[in-house]
Amino acid sequence: MKKLLLPVLFLLVSPAFAQVNISPMPVELKEGKGNFVLDKSTLIKLDSRDQQKTAELFNEYLQAVYGFRLKIFAGSDAVPTSANKIVFRYQRLAPQVDGIYAMDISARELLIKAPFNNGLFYGMQTLIQLLPLQKPATASLVIPQVQIKDYPRFAYRGMHLDVARHYFPMSFLKKYIDYLAYHKFNNFHWHLTDDQGWRIEIKKYPLLTSIGSCRAQTLAGRYGSDKYDGKKYCGFYTQEEVKQLVKYAADRYINVIPEIEMPGHGVAALSAYPYLGCTRGPYKVYETWGVTDDVFCAGNDSTFTFLQNVIDEVIALFPSKYIHIGGDECPKTKWKSCPLCQARIKAEHLKDEHELQSYFIQRMEKYINAKGRSIIGWDEILEGGLAPNATVMSWTGEHGGIAAAKQQHNAIMTPGAWCYFDHSQSRNEDSLTIGGYLPLEKVYGYEPVPKELNAEEAKYILGAQANLWTEYIDNPSKVQYMLFPRMTALSEVLWSPKEKRSWEGFEQRLPGIMDRYKLWNVRYSTAYYDLQPTVVPAEGNGISWKLDTKNTNGHIIYTKGETQNASFNYTGPLLISATGTYSAALEDGDHKVISNWVKQSFSLNKASGKKVTFKTEPNKSYSGSGGFSLVDGVQNKVGMPKSSEFLGWLGKDMEAVIDLEKETAISNIILHAFEQPGSWIYRPSEVTFYSGNNGADFTEIEKISTVTGSRNLIYRTDHAVKARYIKVMAKNYGVIPIGQAGAGTAAWMFADEIEVN
């Protein structure tokens, strides 16, 4: 009997331990002992009809997830007696932070207090998160008695979505707004126009949508491939739909910021109205990704007339204080050879094309300011001088935000390394992404106020935002997968007090957070639980393969070779002593494999695991595991190397010395390098191999200045030598010439591996 009783007893008492799992974590949270049981007999009592919308949204949630709704009473309505009620009340609270609310739950009353409706709405979102994480069998929802006082840390809490690279239907955009609301975000940045499509109806310029919203086909596979899908791709939002979405968001206390890109990323508009470009076309809506030289002509007044007319219609649709005008990635190539652009530079006494970009932005800013609105631009609007009232959205790093704040301009932080949710979440990502590596933990650890700013300057950091560019995201399910759980982590960065943030605490709440995603029917990434393989230096000199996992339901097994027949329990880093492939996976207690197999090939040679020193260290954005990355036995023969496995130098040469530890007979030396001009990564212009025996004096073996092929490049010398030290010099491509991607800036140089045979 006892054995049977125990589980029953547990079921009966478990609601008393209902786990409090709220994201973002509230400022103050006190857990009491009892419960509030919400069922069909619970009433909602409002101070005022002004609170009705929020109460109705709560009912919609209850209906959608738990299948029932509550009766709402407001103002002087006669309220029947009920077992218990939810009460919304206007009340002043301290501190006076926009969005503040408090919550007080007893057995009979669930009270949400706030001075304004947005606070009541945030309180309602917290209530949603106090509901059971699993759908209970009966319509009786046990809510723990808690007391909460809560308000946001940052005034700007944003999420962005690119609908130009791929179009998403209105029904999904509403869901996207719901996801923001669940997490107390208050700004949706809607990236509406780009080279690959113009997605907003502008009545004065119908060709923007009849021509500009369609591309003939789309790149298939990774950027740089020459395969296209051959399928016409179209989509745009009517002004009626835009109004609907703006209203839908406003009901959820979310402001919608439209982005109309200029002066770059405008080919879709140029295709519709070729007179807007320097060469007058013809142009076609872009079918691949990256950056194109075709941009709006800055010398032609018609460009400004056009953009101002577009902005007029945009302003009428969006009540947002901010209008985003892009400003990023605008090559100056066409402006350099355009007579009108050059005449403008002369007439306005501008120094160069960078000042012309500044002229462009400032002219548009003046227009938008005159309409009572403010501009946001990506950090390139700092080029050639910042427009007087502009807010900078810092994406290329933190430096744009830092520069803006130091110039007493507002800034919104969206640095790629922490805020680009199009980057991979896992090192062994199984879906195609743009690349990069942005795990959950890194998002959670992001601090929006750069340490370079003092307290006064820090006030200009309004908040932060994650960006979701959709080159490789063509359906709603993939959007969800890229968002969750990283968006939940970011919500905590933006809302919760800095000192309340705890990665360990978040890790403990993660299973519950994922249960809630299931309740919401959203797809999410479980990368956090993946097997995490890394190649690390072995003790002494050598290479080892290290495997980690957070999954406590499994243990790691591995096998040498591709076959998964004979596998061994993993007990610690595997010393790699020969060329070959290793595989590993997670297995449960019944020896069932519960993860993907991860594979790693090693290619060993005389340099493998040996000590490497540099004259100039690689750039800290691409520093891998330092010199070890060049001799870790991991060679990328095809495709984009993983960022952990290459080293990058920005505008600088590589000079690497390898100590082979003893005099060694060498028949060839190979440098594996990488190029991807679209990403400003250019091949070394020259590679020189040297040998030496004391680590200081070297003799040239061979200089190589041409290499065939592209992307994964091999520089090789076949002169036999005997030496203890090898030096490899790779000369940076230098300043990128006009006509090539990234013209005028320093080139990146990427090295992957040095092989000595």
Q: What does DSSP assign to residue 527?
A: G
Q: CB within 8 A of 79, min separation 6: which ones?
A: 43, 45, 73, 85
**Contact flag: residue 622 with ligand ACM (CB under 6 A):** no
Q: Is 194 a catalytic residue?
A: yes
- For residue 638, give the amino acid letter: V
For residues 144 and 299, which CB has a smaller minimum distance to Zn ion in the complex?
299
Could you tell me the smallest distance in angstroms from the CB atom of residue 302 to Zn ion? 11
Q: Which of the residues 196 through 235 are near Zn ion (CB under 5 A)?
A: none
**Contact flag: residue 328 with ligand ACM (CB under 6 A):** yes
- DSSP for 627-686, written as a single string: EGGGSSS----SSPPPGGG-EEEES--EEEEEEEEEEEEES-EEEEEE-BGGGTB---SE
**Contact flag: residue 329 with ligand ACM (CB under 6 A):** yes
Q: Which of the residues 480 through 509 are near ligand ACM (CB under 6 A)?
A: none
> Which of 329, 422, 457, 675 is labelled catalytic?
329
Could you tell me the smallest distance in angstroms from the CB atom of residue 462 to ligand ACM? 17
**Contact flag: residue 279 with Zn ion (CB under 5 A):** no
For residues 246 and 341, which CB has a smaller minimum distance to Zn ion in the complex?
341
Using the contact rule CB under 5 A, the part of the chain among 275-283, 410-418, 637-645, 686-694 near Zn ion is 275-283
**Contact flag: residue 474 with ligand ACM (CB under 6 A):** no
Size of the site for Zn ion (CB under 5 A): 6
> Which of 194, 365, 379, 530 is labelled catalytic?
194
**Contact flag: residue 335 with ligand ACM (CB under 6 A):** no
Q: Measuring CA to CA, which residue among 672, 704, 710 is closest to residue 690?
A: 704
Q: Which of 25, 164, 341, 535 binds Zn ion (CB under 5 A)?
A: 341
Structure tokens at 340: 């009108």
Using the contact rule CB under 5 A, the part of the chain among 75-83, 332-340, 428-436, 450-458 near Zn ion is 332-340
CA 264 to chain centre: 21
Which partner, ligand ACM, Zn ion, none, binds residue 670 by CB below 5 to 8 Å per kind? none
Q: Is 293 a catalytic residue?
A: no
Q: Measuring CA to CA, which residue among 94, 97, 63, 70 is closest to residue 84?
A: 70
Q: Is 31 a catalytic residue?
A: no
**Contact flag: residue 418 with ligand ACM (CB under 6 A):** no
Could you tell me the smallest distance in angstroms from the CB atom of residue 363 to Zn ion? 14
Which partner, ligand ACM, Zn ion, none, binds residue 452 by CB below 5 to 8 Å per kind? none
Which partner, Zn ion, ligand ACM, none, binds residue 297 by CB below 5 to 8 Å per kind? Zn ion
From CA 658, how far away is CA 631, in angstroms rounded? 9
Q: Interface mask (CB under 6 A) for ligand ACM, residues 360-379, using x and -?
A: ------------------x-
Q: Which of the residues 379 through 398 are near ligand ACM (CB under 6 A)?
A: 395
Helix (H) or strand (E) holding 726: strand 721-731
Largest CA-CA distance found in the chain, in angstroms, rounded: 97
From CA 535, how far away is CA 602, in angstroms rounded? 10
> Which of 160, 189, 191, 265 is labelled catalytic?
265
Q: Which of 340, 417, 743, 746 binds Zn ion (CB under 5 A)?
A: 340
Q: Measuring CA to CA, which residue among 30, 132, 32, 45 is closest to residue 82?
A: 45
**Contact flag: residue 519 with Zn ion (CB under 5 A):** no
From CA 435, how far away is CA 278, in angstroms rounded? 33
Starting at the edge strand found earlier in the chain, the sheet holding 568-569 runs 568-569, 555-560, 580-587, 598-602
CA–CA–CA angle 249, 253, 258 (5° rounding): 50
Q: Do β-strands 686-692 and 647-650 pair in parallel, antiparallel, or remain unpaired?
A: unpaired
In the complex, which residues of this chain contact Zn ion (CB under 5 A)? Answer: 278, 297, 299, 338, 340-341
Footprint on this chain of ligand ACM (rule: CB under 6 A): 328-329, 378, 395
Active site residues: 194, 265, 329
